[in-house]
C-alpha cells in the first residue's frame, strides 16, 4: 500500500539548511538510514521533578505500532525513533500488539537484560512509559458502575498483573515471565474519566488498607516502585517501575481532583490531551495543566492531531489500520504548527505522536517531519502567535475535532463556597474552572461593595481559598478571568 503524497511544511531546502546549521552539535548521533543528512541533536527539557531530560518529541505506542497497515514495519518505526535520538517511548496494555512490537525492536537494539550484548547504558538513556486501564490492584472482584477494569483481550487480573504483563511482552516472551533487571520508567493509570474511578484508585491510601480485600492501583504500584510489600502483592520486594503517573483525555476537573488528592507525592507524570482546538472545549491548558505544573509533575501532551480527526479520520476512537493517517499534514492543516502549539503550551515537557509510516524521503517521513517540528523552545511563541495557530485548527471540521473532551462550559463560579463566623467572618471556596481565558482573581463582595481581592493560583491540594471579612451580612465570591469576564456564587449570608 503506497501512502498518498501530500504537501509538507518543511521544504527540501529548509531541511538541508536546518541540518547543516545544527551539524556542529550532532557528532554522537547515528546517521539516518534513509538519508546522508546528519540530523541535529534533539531538544530536551527537564521532565518535571523526574531526574531526566526528555526529548520534546516522544514516540506514541498507537498508530502503526498498534494497528499496522499492510506494508508497514512497526519495528522499523521504533528503531528510526532511536536513530533520531528520541528518548521517550509510550505503550500500553490496551494497545494490542504494541508492547510486543517494542519487544521485537528492543531485541534488535540489545535492550533486553540478560541478553548477550545487553546495552545497559542505552537502556538508561531512554524513558519507557506503559499504561493500565485497570483501577483495582487485584483482579477477580465484581465490576463497579463507571469504574473501568479492562485491558487488552480477556486479561483483567488487576493493575499489578498488567505491570508484569508489560514487562513480559517487552522484555520477555509474553509467557508471564521477565528477566531480572527489567523495568519500566513510569506506569500510568490510563484515561481517568470520572470521580468514581479516582475514589477506587485512592482506596487503601485514603482509607484503611485491608490486604485481604481489594484496594486501588496506586498503593500497589507504590510497592513496585519502592520495593516494599505493604500490600502483600510484592512478596519478592521487586522494583519494577521508577515512577507512577496518570492520564486523561476527557475531564479536566476529574484530573485536577486526581492531583489534589495525592498527599503522598506519588504522581510524577501526567499524560494529557492538548491541541490547537483545546480552548474550544473545557480546556486543559488553563485548568489541569497549571495544577500539574505547580506540583512539578512531568507533563506529556497527546492528541495533537486529534487521533487523525484533524485529517481523514471521522471523530471517534481508532480501532483498525484504515484509521491510521499515513501522510504528513495537508496544505490547509499543516502538521508543524499543530506540534509547535502544543510544545509552547506552558507546562508541557514532551509530546507523543503515533506514526503511520516512515519514508526514505525525509519530506514524506512522518517521524522526521514531526521531529523537526518539535525542535522548539517552550517560550518560542507568544500568546498572540499561539492564537494565530488556533485558526489553523478551525479549518479542520470547523474546529470540532476533540470528541474525547468535555464541551466548553465557560467560566464557572467558585465552587463549594461557604461562610463561617467566629471572631471574624471567614469565606472559603474551591477553584473556578476556566473557560477560554485563564483565571485572574476572585473579587469578594460584601453588602454590594467589593471589599477584597484574592489572586487566583492553581489549587494544588483540597485546601480551599479563604478570605476574612470584619463585618457584613451578605457576601458573594466572584471569579474574574484575564479579559474581565465574571462568574459569581449565590449570596452567602452570615
Percent of the chain with pLDDT over 70: 89
Calpha distance 89→112 (Å, rounded) = 15
Q: Is pTM, for the whole model, over 0.75?
A: yes
Q: Which three cell numbers stand for residue 10?
A: 518543511
Q: Which domains does the chain have, with CATH numbers?
A: 12-399 (3.20.20.100), 415-493 (2.60.40.10)
pLDDT (0 to 100) of residue 82: 97
Residue 25: exposed, middle, or buried by beta-carbon count in 10 A (0-12, 13-18, 19+)? exposed
Band the pLDDT of 149: cuts 50, 70, 90. Answer: low
pLDDT (0 to 100) of residue 422: 85
Please, which residues bridge with residue 54 across strands? 45
Q: What is the DSSP string of 320-350?
A: SGGG---S---SSS-HHHHHHHHHTSTT--E
- Per residue in 47-89, pLDDT (tens digit) is 999 999 999 999 999 999 999 999 999 999 999 999 999 999 9
Closest by Cα among 337, 338, 339, 344 to 380: 344
- Per residue in 98-147, pLDDT (tens digit) is 999 999 999 999 999 999 999 999 999 999 999 999 999 998 766 666 66
Instruction: Give whole-number Cα distances, 372 to 18, 69, 139, 389, 392, in Å.
Output: 9, 25, 44, 17, 19
Amino acid at each position: 500500500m503506497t501512502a498518498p503524497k501530500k504537501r509538507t511544511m518543511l521544504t527540501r531546502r529548509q531541511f538541508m539548511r536546518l541540518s547543516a546549521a545544527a551539524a556542529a552539535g550532532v557528532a554522537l548521533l547515528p546517521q539516518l538510514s534513509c538519508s546522508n543528512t546528519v540530523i541535529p541533536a534533539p531538544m530536551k527539557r527537564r521532565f518535571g521533578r523526574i531526574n531526566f531530560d526528555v526529548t520534546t518529541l516522544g514516540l506514541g505506542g498507537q498508530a502503526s505500532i498498534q494497528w499496522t497497515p499492510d506494508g508497514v514495519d512497526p519495528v522499523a518505526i521504533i528503531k528510526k525513533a532511536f536513530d533520531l535520538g528520541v528518548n521517550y517511548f509510550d505503550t500500553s496494555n490496551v494497545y494490542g500488539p504494541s508492547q510486543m512490537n517494542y519487544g521485537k525492536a528492543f531485541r534488535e537494539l540489545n535492550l533486553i537484560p540478560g541478553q548477550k550484548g545487553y546495552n545497559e547504558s542505552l537502556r538508561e538513556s531512554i524513558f519507557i512509559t506503559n499504561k493500565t486501564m485497570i483501577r483495582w490492584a487485584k483482579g477477580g472482584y465484581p465490576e463497579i458502575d463507571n469504574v473501568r477494569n479492562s485491558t487488552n483481550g480477556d486479561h483483567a487480573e488487576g493493575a499489578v498483573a498488567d505491570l508484569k504483563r508489560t514487562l513480559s511482552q517487552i522484555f520477555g516472551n509474553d509467557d508471564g515471565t521477565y528477566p531480572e533487571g527489567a523495568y519500566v520508567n513510569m506506569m500510568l493509570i490510563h484515561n481517568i474519566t470520572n470521580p468514581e474511578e479516582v475514589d477506587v484508585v485512592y482506596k487503601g491510601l485514603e482509607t484503611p488498607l485491608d490486604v485481604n480485600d481489594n484496594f486501588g492501583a496506586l498503593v500497589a504500584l507504590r510497592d513496585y516502585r519502592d520495593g516494599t510489600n505493604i500490600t502483600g502483592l510484592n512478596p519478592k520486594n521487586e522494583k519494577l517501575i521508577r515512577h507512577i503517573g496518570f492520564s486523561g483525555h476527557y475531564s479536566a476537573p476529574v484530573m485536577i481532583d486526581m492531583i489534589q488528592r495525592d498527599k503522598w507525592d506519588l504522581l510524577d507524570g501526567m499524560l494529557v490531551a492538548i491541541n490547537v482546538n483545546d480552548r474550544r472545549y473545557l480546556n486543559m491548558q488553563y485548568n489541569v495543566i497549571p495544577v500539574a505544573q505547580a506540583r512539578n509533575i512531568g507533563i506529556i501532551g497527546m492528541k495533537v492531531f486529534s487521533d487523525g480527526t484533524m485529517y481523514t479520520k471521522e471523530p471517534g476512537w481508532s480501532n483498525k489500520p484504515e484509521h491510521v493517517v499515513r501522510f504528513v499534514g495537508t496544505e490547509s492543516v499543516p502538521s508543524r504548527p499543530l506540534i509547535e502549539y502544543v510544545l509552547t503550551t506552558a507546562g508541557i515537557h514532551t509530546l507523543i505522536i503515533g506514526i503511520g509510516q516512515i519514508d526514505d524521503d525525509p519530506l514524506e517521513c512522518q517521524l522526521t517531519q514531526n521531529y523537526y517540528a518539535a525542535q522548539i523552545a517552550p517560550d518560542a511563541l507568544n500568546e498572540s502567535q499561539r492564537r494565530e495557530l488556533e485558526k489553523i485548527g478551525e479549518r479542520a471540521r470547523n474546529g470540532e475535532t476533540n470528541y474525547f473532551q468535555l464541551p466548553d462550559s465557560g467560566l464557572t463560579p467558585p465552587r463549594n463556597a461557604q461562610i463561617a463566623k467566629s471572631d471574624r467572618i471567614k469565606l472559603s471556596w474551591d477553584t473556578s474552572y476556566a473557560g477560554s481565558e485563564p483565571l485572574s482573581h476572585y473579587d469578594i463582595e460584601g453588602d454590594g461593595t467589593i471589599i477584597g481581592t484574592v489572586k487566583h493560583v492553581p489549587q494544588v491540594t483540597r485546601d480551599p481559598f479563604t478570605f476574612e471579612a470584619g463585618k457584613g451580612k451578605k457576601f458573594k465570591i466572584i471569579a474574574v478571568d484575564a479579559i474581565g469576564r465574571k462568574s459569581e456564587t449565590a449570596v452567602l449570608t452570615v
